[in-house]
Structure 1
Amino acid sequence: MRAALKAIAYLNVDIKKSYKVERQFENLSARLRPKPEAYSIWDHMVKSGDYEVPVRVFLPKKGSPRRLLLFFHGGGWVTGSIESYTKMCGYLAGAISAVVVSVDYRLAPESHFPAAPEDCYAVARELFLGKSLLNVDPANITIIGDSAGGNLAAAVSLMARDRGEFLPPRQILIYPAVAADHSSSSPFESIRTNGTDYLLTSKRVADMIDLYKSSDDDYKNPYFAPLEAADLSGQPKTLIISAEYCPLRDEGEFYGKRLEEAGVQVKVFRMKDAFHAYMMLSPRFVHVQKTYELINAFLDE
């Protein structure tokens, strides 16, 4: 597996030139796969300013889900969609026995920061304030995201605290990107030790952030890089899952430490022998199964 990952990373595809092709490939591959039959799937739109944000709702056909997961997908703010994450969200809905609401926020570079967090906040606001989407008790809603989606989940929690309209009771951040600097001068060692040979490279992260930003001023904005927040108090109960061979490992774990120092209830778990984006694998993989177990235990507390 390590040899295969190193070979892929060695290709060093330039995301600044390839992002449109990567999106097309992801969405085509997703459409060719059969939709999960164990779930009812329906689409909805939520207003975010003048833009309508597509969302996809996954409802398990069996049982009576008592939870709702508001899911923000990964893809470095540049790729990823509700199409490419349909299979993962379907599996997640079944494994957690939850309604999953997946958000198709606007992508860079067509829509720079802060379009993505504003879209995610708009959907969260509709859910938590009991508007038209679903009549769900806010106490049973958890926001969750992987990679760039973990960044957006953390950003939405900060925005919610600062704007005072609602506050998610829980957040789950899976190998989140929460720092601004992913260059060789990063304070996080995993950027260097895991930044070249494990599928996601530190250069690719830096290039994606460069596509995402509106200006260099964004690097100091906590909604862009949550670790830049001077105050992390008043944040939801948090589960952070990092991956041992992910370049984002150390920053995610440090975010957990910062939250704990601010008085937030936090659990941080490092997934041994895992690499970035492992949640896109089949549920038969041990790391995916373990993640489901961690999420269920966290939600049952």
Structure 2
Amino acid sequence: MPFADRQRSQLNWVVRKVLSYFAAPRLNMREDYEKVRRRQRQLAVLPHPSYRALDVEIMSADGDHPIPVRVFHPRERQRDEVLLFFHGGGWVTGDIESYTPACATMADLTGCVVASVDYRLAPEHPFPAGLEDCLRVAELFLADPTRAGAEPDDEVILIGDSAGGNLTAAVSLALRERGEPGARRQIMLYPVTHWDHDPSTSPFASVRNHGDDYRLTNTEVQDYFDLYVPDRAERAQPLVAPLMAEDLSGQPDTLIITAELDLLCDEGEAYGSALEAAGNVVRVHRVNGALHGFIALPRFSRSLREAYEHINAFLDGREEHAASATAAETT
């Protein structure tokens, strides 16, 4: 089985107590999302390593609005792939400014061009607005990678973290439903794949075990859903909760990376199992001891570097790396 060991690593109570201090402030996201956005913009202007980037705009399918895309070039390009990135933030916060350091790091550590999509956010633009923006950019970039400053034959790979991982899965499902060519590969970092994050009803132990103490809370996720999909009856549809899809066949080769101390850990891994059961090629790696959102950590972070080891192995198609890593995890 190419999946992460289901046995949790043992952290003593002192370590868990220290980690709990890094938990996000207990905000009411339904009221405080604008405050969070302002804070993210303030952090985005802080000095960070230099990077090479180009801002482009893609017109929406209906011609109603432009969709900003920031294209990052690595200091040394080592691969022909283009990573089309959908950022996290619960579909409510985050943008290409706040994710600029993470995307610059992604470009340098993979040697790939990275194109970050500034899709519309809820609650001003609830579902399916953000998904439509991501889908529009994916369609155009998959058809013509030169829009990202790449070569015509370069491969475009979908990638996203958290809510962006959800959008990655949804874009691939939507492209298949439309009968359009999809990406050959996709990468999801601690994705949202299910609609229920109430610890009293969720089918996942990680929601109950890690929904109060660490980086992301059950309440915050439920607030995000209230803003992104106000109609509760719509939340179980596959383009919101990909794990609910009845047919997951014909999906791209997939890498899913989860964080052990994240309430989304189990649903991300469950999506990997469901994709494999539908006949897709899937790798799942759990970063033990990691919190939600580790893609934004400094480059020297153990969690970040471990994740990129697996991302780069996936990009290189190194099956032997995945097999040896899985064997090490399960011992």
Band the TM-score falls in, shorter-chain normalisation: over 0.9
Q: 2:163 aligns with which of 138, 143, 148?
A: 148
Give secondary structure in 1 for the equivalent of 2:147: coil
Q: 1:166 aligns with which of 155, 170, 181?
A: 181
Q: Which moved more, 1:208-217 or 1:115-124?
A: 208-217
Q: 1:47 aligns with which of 35, 59, 78?
A: 59
Gaps of 5+ in 1: none
Give secondary structure in 1 for the equivalent of 2:89: coil
Q: 2:241 aligns with which of 205, 225, 230?
A: 225
In the alignment, what sits opposite 1:108?
122
State whether structure 2 residue 268 is matched by structure 1 residue 256: no
Q: Which amino acid aligns with 1:129?
A: A
Q: Which amino acid aligns with 1:108?
A: A
- Contact kept? 2:91, 2:130, Cα under 8 Å: yes
In the alignment, what sits opposite 2:32?
18
User: In structure 2, how many angstroms separate the alpha carbons of the residues matched to 1:144 and 1:166?
Assistant: 17
Deviations 1:173-207 (A, max 9, x none): 10000101111200011000000001200111011
Q: 1:123 aligns with which of 126, 137, 151?
A: 137
1:214, distance to aligned residue in structure 2 (A): 4.2
Q: Which amino acid aligns with 2:165?
A: G
User: In structure 2, how many angstroms separate the alpha carbons of the residues matched to 1:59 and 1:149?
Assistant: 21
State whether structure 2 residue 303 is matched by structure 1 residue 291: no
State whether structure 2 residue 45 is matched by structure 1 residue 31: yes
1:164, distance to aligned residue in structure 2 (A): 1.6
User: In structure 2, how many angstroms separate the alpha carbons of the residues matched to 1:178 and 1:8?
Assistant: 24
Closer, same or farther: CA 204–138 of 1 in aligned 2, 3 Å: farther
- Normalised by the length of structure 2, the TM-score is 0.87
User: In structure 2, how many angstroms separate the alpha carbons of the residues matched to 1:46 and 1:63?
Assistant: 24
**Cα RMSD over matched residues?**
1.6
User: In structure 2, how many angstroms separate the alpha carbons of the residues matched to 1:11 and 1:64?
Assistant: 39
1:169, distance to aligned residue in structure 2 (A): 0.4
In the alignment, what sits opposite 2:193?
178
- Contact kept? 1:195, 1:246, Cα under 8 Å: yes
Moved over 6 A (4+): none
Give secondary structure in 1 for the equivalent of 2:45: helix
- Contact kept? 2:52, 2:72, Cα under 8 Å: yes
Give secondary structure in 2 for the equivalent of 1:43: strand
State whether structure 2 residue 172 is matched by structure 1 residue 157: yes
State whether structure 2 residue 81 is matched by structure 1 residue 67: yes
Gaps of 5+ in 2: 1-14, 318-331
Q: Which amino acid aligns with 1:267?
A: R
Closer, same or farther: CA 136–235 of 1 in aligned 2, 3 Å: farther
User: In structure 2, how many angstroms separate the alpha carbons of the residues matched to 1:31 and 1:141?
Assistant: 29
Tell me the number of residue pairs that the alignment of Structure 1 and Structure 2 aligns: 299
- Contact kept? 2:146, 2:152, Cα under 8 Å: no
Deviations 1:195-251 (A, max 9, x none): 000120011101111110041232122111111111000000000001100000000
Closer, same or farther: CA 201–146 of 1 in aligned 2, 3 Å: same
User: In structure 1, how many angstroms separate the alpha carbons of the residues matched to 2:250 and 2:83?
Assistant: 20
- Contact kept? 1:139, 1:169, Cα under 8 Å: no
- Contact kept? 1:243, 1:276, Cα under 8 Å: yes
User: In structure 1, how many angstroms separate the alpha carbons of the residues matched to 2:203 and 2:229?
Assistant: 21
- Contact kept? 1:183, 1:202, Cα under 8 Å: yes
Deviations 1:59-113 (A, max 9, x none): 1243454110000000000111100000010010011000000001001100000
User: In structure 2, how many angstroms separate the alpha carbons of the residues matched to 1:285 and 1:61?
Assistant: 20
User: In structure 1, how many angstroms separate the alpha carbons of the residues matched to 2:145 and 2:298?
Assistant: 34
